[in-house]
Homo-oligomer: A and B are copies of this chain.
């Protein structure tokens, strides 16, 4: 099949490389950076550059920031082959899916929202690897009107690429959960490292500090855009963790060892429950 990948950064570049491992499909790609296109061509991650006319692609995958994805769809809404499928890989789904559904209506093109649960602290084509998605979860957000056969074909494709699990949900449910499992983690990590005490850091850190601050190393252009498109759910989650932190502070100020122990026990038990569910899921 002919596959077009729009955006050859960390995600699009890794997808191209993952597909090319098996040499089954023909991969076309484009990127606003001529460097990424040249490199991807030279390394064989793409077989050719595609632009303006996507009619040869049975599958088009959009791997750019949310606003750029919608701009791309607006400019190219008539450039896809009727009967083909377009999937986006943006980290927010309500905004992109609503715009995409609207833009691709009556074009004969099936749109399905997607979000690969994989990433790295670095970005750009130069950090793309063929193994990035191996074993990871791929979230897809079909709607009631998504043709069953198209959804199955896309799911099979991502499994073939190397994803370990396909998770179906709605765009709203995706955004609600991702606000917690991913976006809040980046906010908290960034908030954590900005303590004045951090600036006097002296090699006192054990693993816990490294864990809590790892994702503070982020691409602020991408994440600020993702956060803004999901600000309702994200603000809710920030509110919840602030309340939980206030509960801890209140127990400490009241020197209430019993309350403190109970709160910590509850957290430990929840963590153990998730770890055990995670193990079950992987078996």
B228-A119 in contact (CB<8A): no
**Known interface pairs A212-B211, A249-B235, A264-B190. Does A197 touch B176 (Cβ–Cβ under 8 Å)?**
yes
A interface, size bucket: 35 or more
Q: Does A188 contact B (CB under 8 A)?
A: yes
A201-B277 in contact (CB<8A): yes
Q: Which residues of B contact A191 (CB under 8 A)?
A: 241, 244-245, 247-248, 267
Selected from B200, B228, B257, the residue in CB contact (under 8 A) with A228 is B257
A184 CB to closest chain B CB (Å) equals 7
Selected from B136, B188, B237, the residue in CB contact (under 8 A) with A188 is B188
Q: Does A158 contact B (CB under 8 A)?
A: no
B201-A181 in contact (CB<8A): yes
**Which chain B residue shows the least CB distance to A245?**
B191
Q: Which residues of B contact A239 (CB under 8 A)?
A: 249
A198-B180 in contact (CB<8A): yes
Selected from B165, B209, B245, B266, the residue in CB contact (under 8 A) with A203 is B165
A271-B204 in contact (CB<8A): no
Question: From DSSP, what is the main secondary structure of chain A's interface residues?
Answer: helix
A211-B214 in contact (CB<8A): yes
Q: Does A1 contact B (CB under 8 A)?
A: no
Q: Does A224 contact B (CB under 8 A)?
A: yes
- How far apart are the CA atoms of A204 and B118 in the complex, in Å? 10
A102 CB to closest chain B CB (Å) equals 22
Q: Does A202 contact B (CB under 8 A)?
A: yes
**Interface membership of chain A positions 246-283, coded 1 if the CB is closer than 8 angstroms to chain B and 0 otherwise:** 11110011010100110111111011101101100100
B180-A197 in contact (CB<8A): yes
Q: Does A167 contact B (CB under 8 A)?
A: yes
- How far apart are the CA atoms of A211 and B189 in the complex, in Å? 10
Q: Does A105 contact B (CB under 8 A)?
A: no
Q: Which residues of B contact A263 (CB under 8 A)?
A: 190, 194
Selected from B192, B217, B238, the residue in CB contact (under 8 A) with A249 is B238
Closest 4 CB pairs of A and B: A190-B267, A191-B244, A185-B208, A220-B264
